[in-house]
Amino acid sequence: MTPASTLDSRASWLRLSISLTIGLVGNVGMWAIIVILPAVQAEFNVDRGDASLPYTLTMIGFALGNYFIGRAVDRWGITTSMIAASGLIAAGFAGAAIAPNIATLSALQLLIGFGTATCFGPLIADVSHWFLRRRGIAVAIAASSNYLSGAIWPLILADILATQGWRSAYLVLAVVTLVVMIPLSLLLRARVPEAARAEAEQSAALRARAVSFSPNTLTLLLAIAGIGCCVAMSMPQVHIVAYCTDLGYGPAIGAEMLSLMLFGGVASRLVSGALADWFGGVTTLLIGSTLQCIALFLYLPTSGLTSLYIVSLVFGLSQGGIVPSYAIIVREYLPPREAGARVGLVMMSTIGGMAIGGWMSGWIYDVTGNYQWAFINGIVFNVLNIGIMLLILLQSRPRRTAPVAA
């Protein structure tokens, strides 16, 4: 088999399918805490800001896991790292199911988030090595497992939450994590031949672009932009269940809206993956960020049930492709040998934005008594993201590359 035939092959698509299935299960750790937020607040008798802390700790663990587990994958491979992460996730769910207070639950959510990270950045990076011509759509599909998990699991858990409570739901997730993730991880033991990897990197270099900023300045700008877009993104994603509960619709309706939002996000990620192949990562991200800002404005006057469903779908269709676009931008503008570390740093910033934004929105709610200013806060951070991406786009130009010697 030649290097070229290794990439975009039947084995590549099979590996992508397995990775997508793993992600559907493994990423539930990021979303389960959102669904149970009202129940946790009621059981532990805490305010909305404190009830948001477990989510914040989940995202901090998720950010750290993307970096440290990513390094572990480079050293020991995706299979070993995934099996270890499965154990961490299952232990976290089992421990959280018997947590006596909000502090213990928050600490265990940190563990869950750390393990869950394996199913995002490291898994996406692994998939990207197996594709050359279809890398954009392959990355988009792999990234979609995160949103698909958030769309499907709230519906699956709704009956358990209603009849047996959130602790029973967490015990179910602990078992499912071990039963599904470990066997499938064993199917990912193969690695891309070095010759095929080198060919992919050479192709990426030929499509590279440049800006007048230094690599460190560009990375910093992308990190700030990532915080901005994800503080904005976190308001509806983290608090939609609680918001619907406050409006009198109940947590089940909120879970349905979260699922609708994330199904829209899946569609957005797939479309954005195709757009990025045509227009580049910066333009694709700018389109998504602008649409997300418009959707946040639409939430301000909206409180009716039907209109909330519609706006939640619009929001999902707007923002799904934003975060994966950062990885594409790094590959377009920065040297391939530095892509791994810089993608990890930028992804950490986006996850940090989700963590900060999730807590910040809860704190604003406690201070003001409603979510209106939390939505406005998200809009302000979204405008910051748009401004940075416009600056990068205006400074963008094709990179001059030396011809490759025959």
Question: Token pair of 54, please?
Answer: 């477990």
The segment(s) of the chain belonging to CATH 1.20.1250.20 are 1-194, 207-396
Helices (H), 166-250: 166-185, 194-206, 215-246
What ranges in 77-134 are assigned the alpha helix state H? 78-96, 102-116, 121-128
- Sequence-distant (6+) residues with CB within 8 A of 234 are 353, 354, 355, 356, 357, 358, 361, 378
Which amino acid type is present at position 277?
D
Higher pLDDT, residue 333 or 404:
333
Residue 5 in this model has a pLDDT that exceeds 70: no
Superfamily name and number for 207-396: MFS general substrate transporter like domains (1.20.1250.20)
Place 401 in a pLDDT band, splitting at 50, 70 and 90: low
Q: pTM here?
A: 0.77
Model confidence over 152-208: pLDDT tens digits? 888 888 888 888 899 999 999 999 999 999 999 999 988 776 666 666 666 655 555
Confidence of residue 85 (pLDDT cuts 50, 70, 90): very high
Residue 279 has pLDDT above 90, yes or no: no
Distances (CA, A) of 151 to 26, 261, 290, 354: 13, 8, 23, 18
Least confident of 243-247, 341-345, 393-397: 341-345
Q: Which two tokens stand for residue 183?
A: 């066997």
Per-residue pLDDT, 331: 74
As a whole number of angstroms, the distance between CA 285 and CA 386 comes to 9
pLDDT in tens, 20-58: 999 999 999 888 888 888 888 888 998 877 888 898 899
CATH of 1-194, one of 1.10.260.40, 1.10.1740.10, 3.30.465.10, 1.20.1250.20: 1.20.1250.20
Q: What is the pLDDT of residues 98-138, one digit of tens each?
A: 999 999 999 999 999 999 988 887 888 788 778 877 777 88
pLDDT score, position 276: 81
